[in-house]
Amino acid sequence: MCRRLCAASYLAHRLGISDRSDLYREAYEDLKKNVLGKLVHKDNYFVSSLEEYNTFAGFLVASVVEGINFGIISYDDVIAGNTLNVLKNLRITGGGYKRNDDGDWYDR
């Protein structure tokens, strides 16, 4: 998402549509600010929801990796490293990762 907003901003700028360029850049900045302000655990890793953030309940959901993939933070950021480290808890013995730590039939 973030990379796409930045790309849209760049293209709009190149096409001379500066108001759109500014709009896309501002949307990126708002998204990044809110994700970093509301979805980063006190131990510096991404959480999947505001509920998890507020309770620090320890829910693990593999989709938090998208905070890295979407370019909200860089791959070498401490949050990225910590997020990948905590996701090691979702590894399965046959290889790969569970989508979450609920342990339902889907992830067995």
pTM score, two decimals? 0.76
Burial class (CB in 10 A: 0-12, 13-18, 19+), 55: exposed
* Residues ≥6 apart with Cβ < 8 Å to 29: none
* 3-59 pLDDT, tens digit each: 788 899 999 999 999 999 999 999 999 989 999 999 898 889 998 888 777 776 667
Answer whether residue 107 shows pLDDT above 80.
no
